[in-house]
Structure 1
Amino acid sequence: MSSWSIISIAAVLSLLLTGALRKYALARSIIDIPNARSSHTVPTPRGGGVAIVVSFLLALPVLAITGSMDWPTMWAMLGAGSGIAILGFLDDHGHIAARWRLLGHFLASAWALYWLDGLPPITLFGIGLELTWFGDVLAVFYLVWMLNLYNFMDGIDGIASVEAICACLGACLLYWLGGFESLIVAPLVLAMAVAGFLYWNFPPARIFMGDAGSGFLGIILGLLALQAAWASPELLWGWLILLGVFIVDATVTLMRRLLRGDKVYEAHRSHAYQFASRHYGRHLTVTLGVAAINLFWLLPVAASVVLWNMDGALALIVAYVPLILLAIRFHAGELEKA
């Protein structure tokens, strides 16, 4: 089976499966009812992200068999991704205490790092660093934060899907131009699986992703970045830059809430993108704005690292400073005024 066949099947399967999941959610009353913490106003089915999970996970063994992915990476993504998706699915259909969810997140991340051989050597301001066991611990916390921040940022129509597609396609372009063609297929399959779901989730959304899909996307995107880092340290910086909108908004919001003494595990709607959606009165403006930032700002900065040898840490700072200012401009982490 060719790579293009796998990519096409993932997109079509995700599209059809999301439609089926929407019918299932409506029949079983698996509905997200708006409340004071919501950014939407219309009751909407949830759990459509399972289509992304199934489409991508089914493709993984095929990618390994055809040589488009090595087997250790396949086991890392299959084990960690399915574990996080199952945990999210159970939480979508009931409630799992935060401490048990967090334990599951750390176990899934540790599983993935075991198969990936930990964190590869990285370059920081031109200095090569081999962090050994400390780097592995750091990588586990990075994966846990990635999957949680993606869950936090999945709060308005289409935003999580658009971010994943932009990051994956941006990475594919950098792989192609930088001579890392062997890495292209996996993020392209993920992008197309998300695109099939986005057909149903584009503003105004007809189904939401749910925790199963958002947590899954977070950890898989994190793993794609670590996989790329083994090919070249610059690619890790490239991924961190491409994911900057979500990383900055979630991190600034978390830090400001921690400093205020909030219970950070409680639901809220104080992210910058949520304030922005209320300011503009619609989700579409913010979702398209995220796509524009990715295309016209973050992608060129990431390209400067991968293609033109700009220092990765310096480029990250250059990319993030305007995003931090933008997050503050839109009140990330502030209390919502009555």
Structure 2
Amino acid sequence: MLLAAVLISAAGLTGIIRAVALKRQLLDIPNHRSSHQRPTPKGGGLAFVITFLMALTGLVLTHAIPLSIYLALMAGGLITAVVGYVDDLRELSPKIRIISHVGAAAIGLLCIGGMPPLNLGFTVWHWGWIGHAVGVLGLVWTINLYNFMDGIDGIAASEAVFASVAGGALLIAAGTADLGTISLVLAAACAGFLIWNWPPAKIFMGDTGSGFLGYMLGLLAIAGSGSSRMTLWLWGLLLGVFIVDTLVTLVTRVRAGRKWSQAHRSHAYQHLTIRWGSHLKVTLAVNLINVLWLLPLAVAAWQWPPGSLVLAAAGLVPLLITAVVLKAGQESFSSTISSSGS
């Protein structure tokens, strides 16, 4: 009942936000870096932010989840969402965004007690003081990673639904029902929004939603990896497409002397969208990779935690090769692609 209520609420609120955005002309206007041709309402991520945080509050009030994880998700989530919302209205400088993201990450890690031990497969490494720095960097990375990958219809929301459903189910199976429930609630909220965002998108989530999702998934991965079965390598598999595409793109652009924060359209998925001429085909392809390739490996990593590093390498290396073949990080000067999903 809870998941259905969250999904319906998120879908309804997205429709309301879309109507308000159209009335006030809060639109994403296409430019030469866009993968869209039509002005589209933005800020729809606010719908799943509000719905999820309200459901999260209900869970903590009924003692279904610990106060520590509630505070971590609520505090950091609000910071990233508010900063993203302001950025949607008037573009903020990269420095302000990064400082805000670092603050959100530090607060989140403080609330959950820092980084859990890292299962390397052959040994378990206890982080010590360096874990705090690594954790903050990791969360800042996932926040920005999600922003970078939110470039075509449905890709970011469907990735969140996949990772949250798979991660939530595996967390519950591992005996971590509180985090598993949170993950499934996040999936339901994103699914409600996805009804409007599926190609052809009727509204975009904007930075309001993308940064929020990056933070939520990153923190759930860190907190969940405290379970003996839910290693960070497993979470790396669930988010593999996003991690690899962003990593290859970023490294390629930095090596070419370009600013990492500069807007561009050079991710592997963006090149593929230009090649195929369709948002729908690329979003479906990413989902097929998730379900048919990465999910079985993630389940295997859950069943065999000592081998999770090897399984992660086996799953991600082919994606890395694919990103290189698709010239991730190299500029494309092709024409803008319609979001018709044809």
Query: TM-score scaled by structure 1?
Result: 0.96
What corresponds to 1:281 in structure 2?
277
Superposed displacement of residue 229, structure 1? 1.2
Match for 2:281: what amino acid?
T
1:124-156 alpha-carbon deviations (Å, 9 max, x no partner): 131111111101110100000000010000000
Matching of residue 194 in structure 1 with residue 190 in structure 2:
yes
The match for 2:205 among 205, 209, 213 is 209
Number of residue pairs matched? 334
1:156 aligns with 2:152: yes
Query: What is the alpha-carbon distance in structure 1 between the residues aligned to residue 110 and residue 88 of structure 2?
Result: 28
Contact 2:48 2:189 in 1 (8 A): yes
Counterpart of 2:80 (choices 75, 78, 84) is: 84
Deviation at 1:275, TM superposition (A): 0.5
Partner of 2:135: 139
**1:177–1:307 Cα contact (<8 Å) kept:** no
Does 2:20 match 1:38?
no
Q: What are the Cα deviations for residues 182-207 of structure 1, in whole angstroms up to 9, with x where unaligned?
A: 43211110001001100100000000
Task: Please tell me whether residue 120 in structure 1 is matched to residue 116 in structure 2.
Answer: yes
Output the amino acid matched with 1:243: L
Give the aligned CA root-mean-square deviation in angstroms: 1.3
| Pairing 1:202-281 to 2, within 5 Å after superposition | 202-232=198-228, 234-281=230-277
Secondary structure of residue in 1 paired with 2:328: coil
Letter in 1 for 2:208: A
Q: 1:103: which partner in 2?
A: 99
List aligned pairs for 1:290-301, cutoff 5 A: 290-301=286-297
Give CA-to-partner distance per residue, 1:104-126, whole Å, 9 cap, x none: 00000000000010001111131
CA distance in structure 1 between the partners assigned to 2:174 and 2:297 by the alignment: 14
1:170 aligned to 2:161?
no
Which of 15, 23, 34 lines up with 2:19 in the alignment? 23
CA distance in 2, matches of 1:182, 1:60: 11
Distance 1:331 1:69 in 2: 44
State the SS of the aligned residue for 2:219. Answer: helix
Q: Is the 8 A contact 1:245 1:323 kept in 2?
A: yes
Cα offset for 1:310?
4.9
CA distance in 2, matches of 1:60, 1:173: 18
Mapped partners of 2:29, 2:165: distance in 1: 33
> Which sections of structure 2, spanning at least 5 residues, go unmatched?
335-342
- For residue 230 of structure 1, give the secondary structure of its aligned residue in structure 2: coil
Is the 2:240–2:294 contact (alpha carbons within 8 Å) kept by the matching residues of 1?
yes
SS of equivalent residue, structure 2 residue 270: helix
2:95 and 2:177 map into 1 onto residues whose CA distance is 40
CA distance in 2, matches of 1:313, 1:39: 35
CA deviation after TM superposition for structure 1 residue 60, in Å: 1.2
Matching residue of 2:326: 330
Deviations 1:91-116 (Å, cap 9, x if unpaired)?
A: 10012111011100000000000001
Contact 2:119 2:231 in 1 (8 A): no
Gap change, CA 1:286 and 1:77, over 3 Å in 2:
same
Contact 1:151 1:211 (8 Å CA) reproduced = yes
Conservation of the 8 A alpha-carbon contact between 1:200 and 1:207: yes
CA contact (8 A) 1:174 1:307 kept: no
Contact in 2 for aligned 1:122/1:233 (Cα 8 Å): no
> What is the letter of the counterpart of residue 224 of structure 1?
L
Match of 2:340 in 1: none
Q: Deviations over 1:241-281 (max 9, x none)?
A: 10001011011100000000001111100000001111110
Q: Deviations over 1:197-242 (max 9, x none)?
A: 0010000000011001000000000011112112236432211110
Amino acid aligned to 1:121: P
In structure 1, the gaps of 5 or more residues are: none
Identical columns (%): 44
Amino acid at match of 2:156: A
How far apart in 1 are the matches of 2:307 and 2:63? 32
Tell me the distance in 2 between the aligned counterparts of 1:176 and 1:97. Answer: 40
